[in-house]
Amino acid sequence: MADWTAYDHAALRDSVSVAAPRGRREVLIGVDGVHCSACIGRIEKLLANRVTDLRIGLTSRTLQFRFDPASVALSSLLARIDDAGFVPRVLAQDAGLHADAVERRRMLGRIGVAVICAMQVMMLAWPDYTTAADVDPGIRELLRWAQAVVATPCVLYAGWPFHRGAWLALRGGHVSMDVPVAASIAIAYGASVWRTIAGAGEIYFDTATMFVMLLLIGRFVESRTRALAGTHLRRLAGGRRLTAQRESGKRIETVPLGLLAVGDVVWVAPGESVPVDGSLLDAAAELDEALLTGESRVVVRHEAERLLAGSLNVGQQALRLRATGVGAQTWLAQVTQLLHRAQAERPRFQQLADRYAGAFIMAVLVMAAASALLWWTIDPQRSLAVALSVLVASCPCALSLAVPAATAAASARLAATGVLAARPEALSRLPQVDTVLFDKTGTLTHPELRLVRVHVTGTMNEHECLRLAAALEQGLLHPIARAFAHIVSDASVTDRRQVTGQGVEGTIDGRRYRMGAPRSAVDVGATHSVVELGDETGPLARFVLGAAIREDAAATVAGLLASGLHVELLSGDGEDAVRAVAQRLGVAHARARQTPDEKLQRLRELQRQGRVVLAVGDGINDAPLLAAADVSAAMPQGAALAQARADLLLLGDSVAALAPARRIAAQAQHRIRENVSWAIAYNLGVLPLAVSGWLAPWMAALGMSLSSLLVVVNALRVRGPAQARVPAVQPAQWSEAV
């Protein structure tokens, strides 16, 4: 167990908690070892009367709560969780990601041991599968001891997670799914060892090893379907700086973000993100706020103006600002809180599972015990076999594989079409989607500015003007400079100087050139930007820049509309830019200047109308919308905060895969219904046979394995569209833009 007392120290405590109202602290951590609804119930009981606003994410394996540091130490809360067998982890901590990889390798090793042992035990148990009476007693005895030797590492090593989980659950006064599983394994193995030593009686080593093998495989499949969600949430802090450059006297020192206080002077180097909200101390600063507000153009902030945490310094000089908001007070932290509150509500099926999980497990144990008592009065020699058969037959192995197997197959098909299912459970809602909400900047349009047109106004030709412009902008971080990055230039620039808000100038071949705002007004529409190239004699060329609509956006929107879906555009960009994109794509409903809260309110309004909503976005300002949507999709080049809550990640920087994804999800749901129906029918069919004594333990284990195999094979029948493929990322091209 870990030593959590270090987290009583305020500086370290701030890495996992932030200030909350009424003197409380709010904690958001990862928690490993959560497998089912019973695990959630155990954690809730562990923290009962000690914390408030408790939220546990089963899929994301996250834990959020508030506590009063004056009455309870954070270390004691973390220790209680750790002692119960759950491992608390700091989100975005490299150690957590490394531990996940180690645990995955360990699980694969256990599966390998279980598979080898199960195969060998079944080979050694061949006399028990036949009615041949001429098997030499000495050979039969030798094979029984060999089975005991081979089965031992499978039961003790490979099956250790089930034994440990059952022990921790019972010690905490709970029953989890590990309890009947561990009981089945222990009964089969313990009775077999006893009868092997006694030299008489039926043995069940094959049942025990087969049980361990199949359950480990099922748990591994389930864990892999949830791995991406956990990984993305552990990278949540990627949207925030973890350290900052603080001015201390005449020197600059690097300090943890948690040590910053309101009033500190912070430096932000070129190309770095602003770590806190603050008031600018410099004359002017150029910032890229596209991931925060949806605004696609560079924003120039002047002295005393507010800078938002998460915005990017795209100028050439370091910025100085005085911190006005740190920790939970920053705009970024407020958006993050919206994100977690939006995802706090549990679906109805999860609430039902939480309510009845313990009752189901107790029913299985009671049924097995009742069967054993019944047969003890009829035939004591068969009571153990019947109890074991009931435990094995009632274990919902096929039922537990029904959903993850089909989901894993669908996830693979989706990846082939250009969609990564970060939260596979969203596939159940995707076919029911009837409304799609799109962000604009970075979603329907490319996130970067592109060169649209060149107007030559001087004596040089277009090629020479592009050569000079590319040379002046080469190596700069400004979005305008990135629009010229694809142009190769052999010109050499000396004495280059960037003037905040004005442009860049430098000397090329002995002549002084300037790239910046036009000296006279140019009307190119509110959705375009213009930069002018000139020298001492006057303007030479004007370059029209715009955020180009994605090549597949029009076809995607048209396809969604043709399918009967309602499509809306919600953007933080300006009215003219949003209206122009909506007209080009045929979107009748568009809203501009939308804050994260306004986007969330529109989503809630649609959901109150009974609509099932798919939200597609890329920025940090889209994170609350993605969190609250029935299904959410994020662009691959977007903010880590947006990707952290997205159900789907669109690969290849394309939205074209949305329509095929719905068809694949519909297939997956059909397979899931078939699998669940079969699994329930199988369990209901074999339970009477097990209770009546007609089903031997090895037959129950074999039937369970065949049932599970059938479920997996049926799940693999999920197919994607024949023409689907991962969209290729195209190089920058000149195209008409808005």
Catalytic residues: 439
The C-alpha atoms of residue 490 and residue 63 are separated, in whole angstroms, by 55
Residue 34 CA: distances (Å) to CA of 44, 57, 258, 397, 420: 12, 9, 29, 18, 23
Q: Which residues contact 97 (CB under 8 A, 6 or more apart)?
A: 231, 234
The C-alpha atoms of residue 722 and residue 720 are separated, in whole angstroms, by 6
- H-only helix segments in 154-294: 160-171, 178-198, 205-234, 290-293
Residue 652 zone, left/alpha/beta (φ > 0; ψ -120 to 50; rest)? left
Q: How many whole angstroms from its chain centre is CA 176?
A: 26
Say which residue the tokens 């153990």 belong to.
384
Longest Cα–Cα distance in the chain = 110
Q: Strand locations in 260-337, DSSP E?
A: 265-268, 277-280, 284-288, 299-302, 306-307, 312-313, 319-325
Residue 251 CA: distances (Å) to CA of 92, 323, 458: 29, 17, 49
For the record, the structure tokens of 328 come out as 């939970």
The C-alpha atoms of residue 14 and residue 240 are separated, in whole angstroms, by 14
Nearest CA among 468, 433, 631, 601 for reference residue 540: 468
Sign of the CA dihedral 605, 607, 613, 615? Answer: positive
Q: Which residues contact 311 (CB under 8 A, 6 or more apart)?
A: 273, 274, 287, 288, 289, 292, 299
Element (H, E) at 452: strand 450-456
With vertex at residue 116, the alpha carbon angle to CA 112 and CA 122, rounded to the nearest 5 degrees, is: 145
Instruction: Give, to the nearest 10 degrees, the angle between helix 94-124 and helix 137-153.
Output: 170
Q: Which residues contact 697 (CB under 8 A, 6 or more apart)?
A: 188, 204, 207, 385, 388, 389, 392
The C-alpha atoms of residue 115 and residue 107 are separated, in whole angstroms, by 12
The C-alpha atoms of residue 443 and residue 273 are separated, in whole angstroms, by 22
Count Cβ atoms within 10 A of the Cβ of residue 388 and give its class: 0-12 exposed, 13-18 middle, 19 or more buried: buried
User: Cβ(412)–Cβ(405) under 8 Å?
Assistant: no
The C-alpha atoms of residue 350 and residue 347 are separated, in whole angstroms, by 5
User: Cβ(105)–Cβ(220) under 8 Å?
Assistant: no
User: Cβ(313)–Cβ(319) under 8 Å?
Assistant: yes
The C-alpha atoms of residue 267 and residue 227 are separated, in whole angstroms, by 37
Q: SS3 sequence, 59-74?
A: CCCEEEEEECCCCCCH
Strand partners, 450: 546
Nearest-10 Cα torsion for 401, 403, 408, 410: 140
Nearest CA among 738, 724, 726, 645 for reference residue 444: 738
